[in-house]
Amino acid sequence: MNPTDSSNPEATERSTEFQAVDGGAQTTSGELLLVEAYAATWLVVFAFLLVSWRRQARIDARMGELEKRLAQHQG
């Protein structure tokens, strides 16, 4: 028998309205999950900034070295 069959009014009623389930205790609060999500987001942002800053420092050092070599070569 098809649960959405209109000949079975009980099945039709169940399929279209919310039925709360007793039991099943909530293990984690929504507030805690929100704080954890924000913390994870900030960690990713700070890690990205740290990696970018270190790469930029290496690029700056390399550019300084190349400028120094170029000045020695020309002069």
pLDDT, tens digit (0-9, with 9 covering 90-100), for 9-67: 666 655 677 777 776 676 788 899 999 999 999 999 999 999 999 999 999 999 999 99
Q: Which residue has the tokens 């690029």?
A: 59
Q: Does the residue 52 lie in any domain?
A: yes
Q: Residue type for 43, please?
A: L
In a domain, 14, yes or no: no
* pLDDT for position 17: 73
- Residue the block writes with tokens 């020309």: 74
pLDDT band for position 7 (50/70/90)?
Answer: low
User: What's the CA gap between 50 and 44, in Å, rounded?
Assistant: 10
User: What's the number of domains the chain is made of?
Assistant: 1
- 15 domain residue, yes or no: no
In this structure, is residue 1 part of a structural domain? no
Please report whether residue 2 resides in a domain: no
pLDDT for 21 equals 72
Domain span at 57: 30-75
DSSP state of 30: H
The structure's pTM equals: 0.56
